[in-house]
A and B are shown apart, each in its own frame.
Chain A
Amino acid sequence: MKMTLTAIVAGALSILALIIFIMVFLPYAQQDTTPSNIWRDRTQVEAAGRKIYIANGCVYCHSQSIRAIDWGFGGERIAQAGDYVGDEPILLGSARTGVDLSQEGGEHPDDWHVAHFVNPRYTRPSSIMPPFKWLGIKEILTLTQYVQSLGFKQADIRMKRQRHWKRQAIEAYEAGPDVNARWLAEQVPEGWRNIPNPYPTTPAGLQRGHKIYQEFCLGCHGPIGDGMGPAQPWIYPPPLNFTILKGREISGGIIYYQLMNGITGTAMPYFKRELESQKIWEVGDYVAVYFINQSDANTDPRGIDAAWEPYLEFEPE
């Protein structure tokens, strides 16, 4: 074959044209623009927040695209083409240096996001997200509105839930520590309230609990558990001061349940995805021993002793 200029230019361009037709134009012409069942339009503020998201390259660390194999945030719902019908540009993202944000709306209340944007280390001590304090509070609030809309109608339901519980949490907090501590404990289902921490306090367990506390809790509850972590100025009701819990019969079960499930409406996140059972019991015991100064670890009722517990003198026989 003789390669002439015409052969090269015309040949390459016609191959390109054919392939653009098949690989780009056909899918474009045949696209289904029906919105998915959760889709809704964005409000003006949300659209403005999306612009800030684009301008600041959030997309290089955050995908908005849930796959069938995902577990994390939003893992309950696999992405559908109809979720993106209003997105120009589409922000699928190609890296998850941070988490997927498809269903971020309503995972946390607004105050959590504000503290997180000011400096992600405040709410998430080992985060590597850059701080956005320099954006200024007005822009941060706009951005928060956008983030809270991710997930569309599902996000709206979660936001409604956040607002509902936020009112109650603030009311309880403002009524003073007695009421607040009682209110918090009463939200935990009866059964859980009566369960002590089933595992004994051990030096190793406390060490591990300490490490988890530093990686997950420090920014809010503070190094000494008084609720004065760096996130505190941005969070309302403020992070709990654990020392007020002394003498209020806060069982291991209450702490476990609150950690697992979070306290919706307050900045207190749920940890069921991040921490397995043992880790929750151990960080709970760490809080109980060091900050509340009162632990019910390994008291009755206990059930059958766990197989691995070396600290028990096994007597029956």
Chain B
Amino acid sequence: MASTANEQAPSYPTAIAFCLTSTIWFAAATSFGMIAAGYLFAPDFLANIGWLHFGKARPIHVNLVLFGFVTPGLLAAGFYMIPKLLRTELFSEKLGVFTAVLWNVTMLCAIVGIGAGYSQGREYAELPWTVDLMIVVLFVLVIFNILMTIRQRKESILYVSVWYITAAVVLTGTTYGIGNVIWKPDTGALLGIPDAILLWFYGHNIFGLLLTPMGLAVAYYVLPIATRSPLYSHTLSLIGFWSLIVVYTHIGTHHLLQVPVPTYLKVIAIVDSVAMVIPVMVVLINLWFTVKGKWAEIHQDIGAKFVFAGTIYYFFVNIQGSMMSLPVVQRVTHFNNWVVGHAHIGVLGFAGVTALGGIYFLLPRITGKPIYSRFLADLQYWLVLIGITGFAIVLTIVGLIQGQAWINGETIYRVLPQIQPYYIARASLGITIMLGAYIGAYNIIRSIFFNPGATAK
């Protein structure tokens, strides 16, 4: 790489490439989210554009968000943290940059695949077979690069963040192929009820074994450094890590509590969904005690500010999730917008916000200059925060309206006019998030390529 001329400061081209990937797909994904949200209150808007109607914009939105925005964002932080923590260089920056380029090609293929109607129709596993293969290849490349970096390390102790990242990529690399039934190229599915069981085992692991550990890895790295505090407890880190892997993998069936699947699966899923309080609270206590009383430091570092906000959403999404796994609650919340609210709190509020935090944390440290504009970063912070909190409130209200009405025997059709104003409110809030994404993209690109040096404050 050109920058190796400058010996003392490695330039982390892989991390930079993943930052760019994440930030660009964030903008694209929110645009597709806006289109989907528009259809829900004005269904004839953009009518008759075959590749863009709700049934296609929605899976494009969700896949871009998961695999285009959040995962690369967290990986960017990973490709920065791992060499740092291990006092070495990334095994191969060339391979890393190549992975990032291929990642972008894969996302383009994903849009084209779903848009052209090759969706496999299974939520979170809709990408067509060829794209599935590409994603598996991507994970293999990432795993290879990370494992080789760990092998050549100069620091013998592996820090918590390294555990989480390694486990996340290795486990996701495995479950992705299984969950997408990659050995059956034509349908990418099993037959009958086992298909649903496998699908939600996999679907839940996208949140539980990919986004959550990667997000926590970033939090474990950013918060102690930003506040210059040692990690509160090694024991809690250990408990949090292993209990996450043991418990989270069990609970996929809580998506199927009202479906004819074997009862023992439901029992395990409910019990362990409640038991999720352990891995979650252990980690949060560990992180929150680490930063206790250091608000000024957190506020000073925009990256840490995002990451800390992410931990708060992490708390809420998990408490909410445990509640939603109780059958009495799920009778009301299942099948409606309550779940969509939960999904946005989790994937955007926790994982997405944490990914942004990681990006803002590492950029100044890589480029050696402050980010282009702290003001724009703060603006993005508030736009995203207002948007997601608004989403949580509005979608929860809609969900309750729908759920309570249905349980009383109202038909879905009759409730539609009542929820229309909320759909409009949700789309308006979406505009703030989308603006945040575009502003962030501008700020991050400027920070990397056209950064004059001094802050524009």
Chain A contacts to B: CB under 8 angstroms = 1, 3-5, 8-9, 11-13, 15-16, 19-20, 22-24, 27-28, 30-31, 33, 53-61, 63, 65, 67-72, 79-81, 84-99, 119-121, 124, 126-135, 215, 273-274
Contact = CB atoms under 8 A, between A and B. Distances in A.
Contact of B121 (A13, A19, A91): A91
B117 A56 contact: yes
A55 B54 contact: no
Contacts of B158: 3-5, 8
B290 interface: no
Q: How large is the interface on B (under 10, 10 to 19, 20 to 34, 35 or more residues)?
A: 35 or more
B416 interface: yes
Interface string B183-218: 000011111111111110100000000000000000
A87 B412 CA distance: 25
Given A5-B166, A90-B196, A126-B417, A95 B406 contact: no
B190 A28 contact: yes
23 contacts: A8-B158, A9-B167, A22-B268, A23-B197, A24-B201, A27-B261, A30-B262, A55-B118, A56-B56, A56-B117, A60-B54, A89-B187, A90-B189, A92-B256, A95-B335, A96-B406, A128-B39, A128-B40, A130-B39, A133-B47, A135-B50, A215-B417, A273-B411
Contacts of B411: 71-72, 99, 273-274
Contacts of A3: 158, 163, 238
A80 B50 CA distance: 34
A134 B51 CA distance: 10
Interface stretch (B171-179, B366-374, B383-391, B431-439): B171-179
B230 interface: no
A30 B44 CA distance: 46
Nearest to A35: B192
B191 A19 contact: no
* Residue picked from A8, A58, A63, most chain B C-beta under 10 Å: A8
Contacts of B151: 5
Contacts of B40: 97, 128
A72 to B, nearest CB: 5
By secondary structure, the A interface counts as loop
A81 B255 contact: no
B407 A69 contact: yes
B293 interface: no
Nearest to B122: A89
A16 B175 contact: yes
B281 interface: no
A96 B47 contact: no
Contacts of A56: 53, 55-56, 117
B171 A31 contact: no
A94 B193 contact: no
* Residue picked from B196, B413, B414, most chain A C-beta under 10 Å: B413
B166 A9 contact: yes
Given A1-B238, A31-B193, A55-B117, 18 more contacts: A4-B158, A5-B151, A13-B174, A23-B268, A27-B197, A28-B190, A54-B120, A71-B409, A84-B192, A85-B192, A96-B335, A96-B406, A97-B40, A120-B43, A128-B39, A130-B54, A131-B44, A132-B53
A12 B252 contact: no
